[in-house]
A and B are shown apart, each in its own frame.
Chain A
Amino acid sequence: MKHLISAADLSRDEALLILDTAEELSQVSDRSIKKLPTLRGRTVVNLFFEDSTRTRISFEAAAKRLSADVINFSAKGSSVSKGESLKDTALTLEAMGADAVVIRHSASGAPHRLATWVRGSVLNAGDGTHEHPTQALLDAFSMRRRLGRLEGLKVAIVGDVLHSRVARSNVLLLHTLGAEVTLVAPPTLLPVAVETWPCQVSYDLDAVLPKSDVVMMLRVQLERMSAAFFPSAREYSRRYGLDPDRFARLHDDAIVMHPGPMNRGMEISAAVADSPRSTIVEQVANGVTVRMAVLYLLLGGAI
Chain B
Amino acid sequence: MSAAQNSSRNPHEVPPSQRAVLEGPDIQRALTRIAHEILERTKGATDVVLLGIPTRGATLAVRLAERIAEFEGVKVPVGALDITMYRDDLRLRPARPLGHTELPPGGVDGRVVVLVDDVLFSGRTVRAALDALNDVGRPRAVQLATLVDRGHRELPIRADYVGKNLPTAKSETVKVYLAETDGRDAVVLLKEEQR
Give A residues with C-beta under 8 Å from B.
Answer: 17, 20-21, 24-25, 27, 31, 33, 35-38, 296-303
- Of all A-B residue pairs in the complex, the 7 with the closest CB atoms, nearest first, are A301-B95, A301-B94, A300-B95, A24-B98, A38-B85, A36-B85, A33-B135
- Cα separation A301 to B87 with both chains bound (whole Å): 11
Cβ-defined partner of A301 (8 Å) among B86, B91, B101: B91
Cross-chain contact of A24 among B95, B100, B131, B136 (Cβ < 8 A): B100
What separation, in Å, do the CA atoms of A35 and B132 have in the docked complex? 10
| Smallest beta-carbon distance B96→chain A, Å | 7
B25 at the A interface (CB under 8 A) = no
**Considering the chains assembled together, what is the distance between the CA atoms of A20 and B99 in angstroms?**
10
Minimum distance in angstroms from A26 CB to a CB of chain B: 11
Q: Is B166 an interface residue (CB 8 A)?
A: no
State in angstroms the CA–CA spacing of A25 and B98 once bound together.
9
Task: Determine whether B185 belongs to the interface, using a CB cutoff of 8 Å to chain A.
Answer: no
Cβ contact within 8 Å between B97 and A17: yes
Q: What residues of B have a CB within 8 angstroms of the CB of A25 in the complex?
A: 98
Q: How far is the CA of A20 from the CA of B96 in the complex (A)?
A: 12
Could you give, for residues 79-122 of chain B, a 1 whenever the CB lies within 8 Å of some chain A CB and a 0 otherwise? 00010011000111111111111000000000000000000000
Q: In the complex, A301 Cα to B95 Cα: how many Å? A: 4
Which residues of the other chain, B, contact A298 by a CB distance below 8 angstroms? 95
Q: Taking the nearest CB of chain B, how far is it from the CB of A249, in angstroms?
A: 39
* CB interface residues, B 22-76, toward A, < 8 Å: none
Alpha-carbon distance between A297 and B85 when the two chains are bound, in angstroms: 11
Whether B92 contacts A27 by the Cβ 8 Å rule is no
Which residue from A17, A24, A35, A302 sits with its C-beta under 8 Å from B92?
A: A302
* Chain A proximity of B107: nearest CB distance (Å): 10
- Chain A residues in 8 Å Cβ range of B86: 36-38
B82 touching A296 by the CB < 8 A rule? no
Residues A302 and B85 in contact, CB atoms below 8 Å apart: no
Given A24-B82, A31-B136, A36-B85, decide whether A296 and B131 contact each other with a Cβ distance below 8 A.
no
* Complex interface: chain B residues within 8 A of A35 (CB): 135
**Is the CB–CB distance between B95 and A296 below 8 Å?**
yes
Chain B residues with Cβ under 8 A from A21's Cβ? 97-98
Cross-chain contact B135 with A302 (CB below 8 angstroms): no
Q: How far is the CA of A21 from the CA of B95 in the complex (A)?
A: 11
Distance between A117 CB and nearest chain B CB, rounded to angstroms:
24
Q: How far is the CB of A145 from chain B (nearest CB, A)?
A: 16
> Are A37 and B85 neighbours in the complex by a CB distance under 8 Å?
yes
Given the interface pairs A31-B135, A36-B85, the reply to whether A300 lies near B90 with Cβ below 8 Å is yes
Q: Which one of B94, B97, B99 contacts A302 once the chains associate, using CB atoms below 8 Å?
A: B94
